[in-house]
């Protein structure tokens, strides 16, 4: 991965680019565009003056108007009809020093130039100061009583050198101030934007190294606060997952050790005491080995389900018949352990699902009902049609599940009673397997339970048509 520039430097870079751009615009306008813009403005003023002068020509007090205009705008005006001056004043101005033949040549140039002519003059002074005087002359020809008349306006252009010198010094100060401002801004933005992110980043790295303590005190700005909260959440989740994993390992180890100890104990006893070599003891060994293989199979199943390695084999089958078949298995509890197992199964209800997997879910519900039935050794199994879905319920009247734990029991690592020793072949992850299977079927499922009253575990599947399955 290409190494990226740190946020600190990025902020500084953009601020410097911004300051540079600002300075560039200032230099462009103040040093380079000032003179052309001034000349353009001056030309527009002179053009307006000519228009005013032409307008005033036929009015009374013409001479006064011209005099006022020229003194107000500091320009000289000369109006010439081809033979003589109609209006002239301010004889000191270079405009009035123009001879008649020069005026005539100006008339010619103006008429050749579509009636308007601009002439710029630069006069260099030879007094050693390298100074120059610039002036501009704008002439226009108008028709007056069928007679062409030349109107000329002359103006000196203010020298720019001094202004430009002042501006240059000003720009230098502005540049220095901008650099200081950028430095200050970089510092402030770093403190408030980059530093919290750097700290959160450091904490994230620490999480990956197994250090889960996150500082909660970020209050600089919303995004950093949210990022910190997310990190905190992630770290808490990891801590919980780690704990759950440790719990799972310790539970599984415990569950593995119990049958293994039994197998080992019985095996050694049978070896040492030849008269213990009997069928009953061998059954104990076989039962414990079976329990072990259940546990291992369940674990493998769950991990495959979690990783989507198991594909459901959909078929339309008679759910009522399948459950009736399974019920025979549990009759033994009625005979041997005094259970009452009631079946209320509506006949002939078909569903489109994976038969073996649904059987697995049902058996898990049954095993749990028998496991957690408490003193009242009664289990009721119901299968019935309800609003176009087939509902399967397994009810017991045992210890029940607290409301706040009813969501959690479907989690892989969650167990209500940590010290519980399972009397049946149960791995402790049966409900998470059931959840995965039912989720894959997009089925509705859940538990309704009250402490010391019992629980009803249920699932619902649509009546079996292919179209109902996603
Ligand atoms: P196991 O029963 O082997 O511990 P499960 O995943 O099947 O594992 O069940 C998870 C937990 O849910 C159980 O440990 C138990 O605390 C609770 N539970 C499940 N079924 C019942 C039930 N019918 N009555 C009371 N608690 C139950």
Question: Is the CB of residue 429 below 6 angstroms from any atom belonging to ligand 1?
Answer: yes
Kindly compute the dihedral angle of the four CA atoms of residues 98, 102, 103, 104, in this order, to the nearest 10 degrees.
Answer: 160
Residue 377 near residue 338, CB atoms below 8 Å: yes
DSSP character at residue 146? T
Residue 416, pLDDT > 70, answer no
Q: What was the pLDDT predicted at 129?
A: 60
Helix (H, G, I), strand (E, B) or coil at 325: helix
Question: Is the CB of residue 417 below 6 angstroms from any atom belonging to ligand 1?
Answer: yes
Question: Is the CB of residue 452 below 6 angstroms from any atom belonging to ligand 1?
Answer: no
Question: Is the CB of residue 464 below 6 angstroms from any atom belonging to ligand 1?
Answer: no
Residue 438 near residue 389, CB atoms below 8 Å: no
> Sheet holding 132-144: strands in order across?
85-87, 76-80, 147-157, 132-144, 116-124
Distance 409 CA to ligand 1 centre (A): 7
Cα–Cα distance measured from residue 407 to residue 411, given in angstroms and rounded to the nearest whole number: 8
Distance 469 CA to ligand 1 centre (A): 29
Mean pLDDT estimate for the chain: 85
> Which of 159-168, 350-359, 415-424 has the highest average model confidence (pLDDT)?
350-359
Q: What was the pLDDT predicted at 305?
A: 84
Q: How confident is the model at residue 421 (pLDDT cuts 50, 70, 90)?
A: very low
Q: Ligand 1, residues 364, 405, 415: which to mutate, most atoms within 8 A of Cβ?
A: 415
Residue 140 near residue 46, CB atoms below 8 Å: no
Closest atom of ligand 1 relative to the 415 alpha carbon: 14
Residue 139, pLDDT > 90, answer yes
Q: What was the pLDDT predicted at 128?
A: 56
For ligand 1, atom 13, name the residue with the nearest CA: 415
The least confident of 19-23, 181-185, 195-199, 381-385 is 195-199
Phi, psi dihedrals of residue 17, rounded to the nearest 5°: -60, -45
Question: Is the CB of residue 454 below 6 angstroms from any atom belonging to ligand 1?
Answer: no
Question: Is the CB of residue 436 below 6 angstroms from any atom belonging to ligand 1?
Answer: no
Q: What was the pLDDT predicted at 302?
A: 82
Q: What was the pLDDT predicted at 250?
A: 79
Residue 229, pLDDT > 80, answer yes
- Which residues have C-beta within 8 Å of that of residue 343, sequence separation ≥ 6? 323, 324, 327, 381
Q: What was the pLDDT predicted at 466?
A: 45
Token pair in block for residue 253: 């180890």
Cα–Cα distance measured from residue 21 to residue 30, given in angstroms and rounded to the nearest whole number: 14
Q: How confident is the model at residue 159 (pLDDT cuts 50, 70, 90)?
A: confident
Helix (H, G, I), strand (E, B) or coil at 340: strand
Angle at 254 between CA 250 and CA 255, to 5 degrees: 120
Closest atom of ligand 1 relative to the 422 alpha carbon: 3
Residue 188, pLDDT > 80, answer yes
pLDDT digits (tens, 9 = 90+) for 34-62: 888 999 999 999 999 999 888 888 788 88
- Which residues have C-beta within 8 Å of that of residue 332, sequence separation ≥ 6? none
Phi, psi dihedrals of residue 3, rounded to the nearest 5°: -75, 125
Distance 392 CA to ligand 1 centre (A): 18
């Amino acid at each position: 991965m290409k190494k990226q520039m740190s946020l600190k430097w990025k902020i500084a870079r953009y601020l410097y680019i911004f300051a540079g751009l600002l300075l560039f615009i200032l230099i462009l306008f103040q040093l380079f565009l000032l003179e052309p813009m001034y000349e353009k403005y001056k030309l527009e003023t002179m053009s307006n003056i000519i228009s005013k002068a032409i307008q005033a020509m036929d009015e009374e007090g013409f001479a006064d108007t011209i005099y006022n205009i020229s003194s107000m705008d500091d320009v000289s005006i000369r109006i010439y009809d081809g033979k003589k001056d109609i209006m002239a004043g301010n004889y000191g101005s270079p405009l009035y020093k123009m001879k008649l033949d020069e005026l005539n040549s100006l008339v010619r140039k103006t008429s050749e130039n579509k009636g308007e002519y601009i002439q710029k003059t630069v006069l260099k002074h030879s007094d050693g100061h390298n100074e120059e005087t610039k002036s501009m002359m704008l002439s226009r020809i108008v028709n007056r009583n069928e007679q062409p008349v030349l109107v000329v306006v002359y103006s000196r252009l203010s020298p720019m050198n001094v202004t430009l010198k002042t501006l240059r010094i000003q720009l230098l100060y502005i540049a220095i101030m901008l650099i200081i401002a950028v430095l200050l801004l970089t510092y402030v933005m770093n403190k408030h934007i980059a530093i919290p992110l750097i700290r959160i980043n450091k904490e994230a790295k620490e999480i990956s190294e197994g250090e889960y303590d996150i500082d909660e005190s970020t209050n600089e700005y919303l995004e950093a606060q949210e990022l910190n909260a997310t990190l905190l959440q992630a770290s808490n989740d990891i801590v919980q997952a780690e704990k759950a994993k440790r719990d799972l390992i310790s539970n599984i180890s415990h569950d593995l050790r119990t049958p293994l100890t039994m197998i080992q104990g019985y095996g050694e006893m049978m070896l040492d005491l030849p008269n213990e070599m009997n069928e009953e003891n061998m059954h104990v060994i076989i039962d414990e080995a079976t329990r072990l293989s259940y546990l291992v199979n369940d674990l493998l199943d769950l991990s495959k389900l979690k990783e989507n390695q198991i594909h459901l084999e959909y078929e339309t089958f008679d759910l009522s018949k399948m459950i009736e078949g399974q019920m025979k298995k549990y009759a033994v509890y009625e005979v041997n352990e005094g259970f009452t197992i009631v079946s209320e199964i509506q006949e002939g209800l078909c569903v489109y699902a994976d038969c073996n997997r649904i059987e697995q879910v049902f058996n898990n519900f049954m095993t749990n009902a028998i496991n957690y039935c408490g003193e009242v050794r009664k289990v009721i199994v119901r299968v019935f049609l309800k609003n176009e879905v087939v509902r399967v319920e397994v009810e017991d009247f045992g210890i029940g599940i607290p409301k706040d734990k009813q969501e959690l029991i479907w989690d892989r690592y969650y167990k209500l009673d940590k010290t519980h020793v399972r009397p049946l072949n149960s791995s402790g992850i049966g409900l998470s397997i059931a959840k995965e299977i039912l989720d894959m079927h997009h089925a509705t499922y859940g538990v309704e339970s009250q402490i010391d009253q019992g629980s009803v575990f249920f699932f619902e599947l649509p009546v079996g048509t292919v179209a109902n399955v996603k």
